Structure 1
Amino acid sequence: MITTTDHNFTYNTPATVTRIAKPRLPIDSASGILDCVGQTPLVHLSRYLDDCSIELHAKLEAANPGGSAKDRPALRMLEHALETGELAPGDTVVESSSGNMGIGLAQTCRFHQMRFICVVDPHAQPQNIAIMQALGAEVVRVETPVDGSFLAARLQRVQQILSDVPNSFWPNQYANRQNPIAHHEGTIREIDEATGGDLDYLFVATSSTGTAQGCRDYLRKHNRHTQVVAVDANGSVLFGGSPGKRLIPGIGAGHLPALAKDQTFDKIVRVSDVDCVVGCRRASAREAMLVGGSAGGVLEVVRSLENELSGKRCVAILHDSGTRYLDTVFNDDWVESSLGVTAATVNQRTSAPALQSVRNAS
Structure 2
Amino acid sequence: MIHDSITDCVGNTPLVRLDRLFPQRDIEVLAKLEMLNPGGSVKDRSARYIVERGIGDGMIRPGTHIVESTSGNFGVALAMVAVRHGLRFTAVVDPNASRTNLRILRQFGAEIEMVREPDSAGGYLHTRLARVQDLLTEDPDAVWINQYANHLNWETHAVTTAREVIADCPDPVDVLVAAVSTTGTLHGLARGLRRVWPALQVVAVDAVGSVIFGTPPGPRMLPGVGSSRVPELLTPAEIDRVVHIDDAAAVRGCHRLLRQEAIFAGGSSGSVVAAIDTLLPELPRPSRVLTLLADRGERYLDLVYTDEMAIEHDELAYSSHS
Contact 1:197–1:224 (CA under 8 A) maintained in structure 2: no
Shift of 1:349: 4.3
Single out whichever of 316-325 and 125-134 deviates more from structure 2: 125-134
Within 5 A, what are the aligned runs for 1:108-147?
108-146=81-119, 147=121
Question: Pairwise mapping of residues 187-336 of structure 1 onto structure 2 (< 5 A)?
Answer: 187-260=161-234, 262=236, 264-309=238-283, 310-333=285-308
Deviation track 1:31-89 (CA, whole Å, cap 9, x = no partner) reads 11111010001111111125244211110101111110001111111111111111111
Aligned to 1:9: none
On the 8 A contact 2:154/2:185 being kept in 1, the answer is yes
Alpha-carbon offset, residue 202 of structure 1: 1.1
Tell whether 2:135 aligns with 1:161. yes
Residues 240 and 140 of structure 1, relative CA distance in 2, 3 Å threshold:
same
Question: 2:322 aligned with 1:347, yes or no?
Answer: no
Contact 2:267 2:300 in 1 (8 A): yes
Equivalent position of 1:15 in the other structure: none
Distance of aligned partners of 1:202 and 1:245 in 2 relative to their CA distance in 1, 3 Å threshold: same
- Cα distance in 2 between the residues matched to 1:331 and 1:52: 34
Unmatched tracts of structure 1, length 5 or more: 1-27, 336-341, 355-362
TM-score (norm 2): 0.93
> SS of the residue aligned with 2:213?
helix
Code of the residue aligned with 1:212 in structure 2: it is L
CA distance in 1, matches of 2:150, 2:60: 14
Check if 1:88 corresponds to 2:61: yes
**How far 1:351 sits from its partner (Å)?**
6.3
Q: Deviation of residue 165 (structure 1)? A: 2.3
In the alignment, the residues of structure 2 paired with residue 289 and residue 61 of structure 1 have an alpha-carbon distance, to the nearest angstrom, of 12
Alpha-carbon distance in structure 2 between the residues aligned to 1:284 and 1:52: 22
Whole-Å Cα distance in 2 between the matches of residues 151 and 210 of structure 1? 19
Deviations 1:90-115 (A, max 9, x none): 21100011410001100111111011
**Which runs of structure 1 show a deviation greater than 4 angstroms over 4 or more consecutive aligned residues?**
348-354
In the TM superposition, what is the alpha-carbon distance from 1:320 to its structure 2 partner? 0.2
Secondary structure at the counterpart of residue 89 of structure 2:
strand
CA distance, structure 1, for counterparts of residue 320 and residue 243 of structure 2 = 19
Tell which deviates more after alignment, 156-165 or 57-66: 156-165
Task: Report what 1:20 is aligned to.
Answer: none
Q: Which amino acid aligns with 1:305?
A: L
**Residues 236-289 of structure 1, C-alpha deviations (whole Å, 9 max, x = no match):** 110112111111001101012211265540111011111111111111111111
CA distance in 2, matches of 1:145, 1:222: 46
Question: How many residues end up aligned between the 2 structures?
Answer: 319
Mapped contact 1:282–1:351 kept (Cα < 8 A): no
2:67/2:143 contact within 8 Å kept: yes
Aligned residue in 2 for 1:5: none
Query: For 1:241, what is the secondary structure of its paired residue?
Result: coil
How far, CA to CA, are the matches of 1:352 and 1:77 in structure 2? 48
- Write the distance in 1 (CA, Å) between the matches of 2:46 and 2:92: 18
The worse-fitting range, judged by mean Cα deviation, of 308-317 and 267-276 is 308-317
Write the letter of the residue equivalent to 1:66. G
Q: CA 1:263–1:110 in structure 2 vs 1: closer, same or farther (change >3 Å)?
A: farther
Write the distance in 1 (CA, Å) between the matches of 2:88 and 2:243: 38
Could you tell me how far apart the structure 1 residues matched to 2:317 and 2:46 are? 33
User: In 1, Cα distance between the equivalents of 2:237 and 2:171?
Assistant: 23
Q: Does the Cα contact within 8 Å between 2:65 and 2:89 map onto a contact in 1?
A: yes
* Distance in 2 (alpha carbons) for counterparts of 1:163 and 1:351: 57
Partner of 1:174: 148
| Cα distance between partner residues in 1 of 2:65 and 2:237 | 31
Mapped to 2, the partners of 1:279 and 1:75 lie a distance apart of 29
